[in-house]
Amino acid sequence: MPDFTPQLRKTLRYYFDSQIGKHKINVKVLMQKGVGVAEHPDIMQTIEDELGKIAEYKDKLEALDTLEDEQAQLSFLQEDGTS
């Protein structure tokens, strides 16, 4: 069975980065033209929610990096034959 791990990691990284970009744009739009967004009467809360989503996806990227580091360490140990 083929190992899709590298492709999955790459896809997850692209997805998390694009979500961060999306929520950053939302914050910029709300800050510049908040009165034009009718379904968001509480602009401050909406901006806070968007910032929370940015932080969430940054945390996910960090977790993915941690997994990659751990996998690299395990691979090194398996190749080296030491523990």
**In this structure, are residues 23 and 57 in contact, taking their beta carbons and an 8 Å threshold?**
yes
- What's the distance, Cα to Cα, between the start and end of the chain in Å? 27
Structure tokens of 56? 């969430």
**Residues present in the chain in total:** 83
- The pLDDT value recorded for residue 71 is 74
For 35-75, write each residue's pLDDT tens digit: 656 665 788 888 999 999 999 999 999 999 998 877 776 66
Domain range list for the chain: 40-75
Reported confidence tier of residue 33, pLDDT bands at 50, 70, 90: confident
DSSP 8-state symbol, 3: -
